[in-house]
Amino acid sequence: MDAVTDLPVRAATDVRTALSRLRRRLLELSADEVTPSQTALLSRLAKDGPATASALAAAERIRPQSAAATVASLEKAGLVVRHPDPHDGRRLLVSLTDEGRARYQGGRATRGEWLAAALRARCTDDELRAVVLAATILDDVASAPREVP
């Protein structure tokens, strides 16, 4: 391969590495005792609404047993509640409580403030514009079909 063909491969590797590190760092910034796996489920419920534990597991790509344990710990902390599915009473849906929504929103604000401050401290105005452009491009790439021609 030459440098031109290697460029997309390098870009893909660099983006995956940077996003993975940034995601882990942002999950670490919870202002309270919420773990990264709990934060991920709170985030999923805040964005997508009530879901079964198995649907949460599939969406987060974790084992159903792990999702069930995380849901149980969130329920014990008063951050989620389980209730019958109105369309199928045999299934239980998991929903955020008011406290769970407040905790998620507070953590989200904390992470957003940290990221803005870190960008401000480490980037020039031109670099910040490049970050905005890169975010737009990555959002577009995220919309690409699974089978890219």
Q: Topology of domain 19-142, per CATH?
A: Arc Repressor Mutant, subunit A (1.10.10)
pLDDT for 78 equals 98
**Domain residue spans of the chain:** 19-142
Q: Which helix (H) or strand (E) holds 97?
A: none
The per-residue pLDDT for 3 is 64
Q: What are the tens digits of pLDDT across the range 13-60?
A: 999 999 999 988 987 886 567 888 999 999 999 999 999 999 999 999
Place of tokens 């670099």: 127
Distances in whole angstroms, Cα of residue 58 to Cα of each of 8, 14, 23, 51: 29, 26, 19, 11
Quick one: pLDDT band at residue 2, thresholds 50, 70, 90? Answer: low
Q: Would you state the pLDDT for residue 50? A: 98
Q: How far apart are CA 132 and CA 106, in angstroms?
A: 24
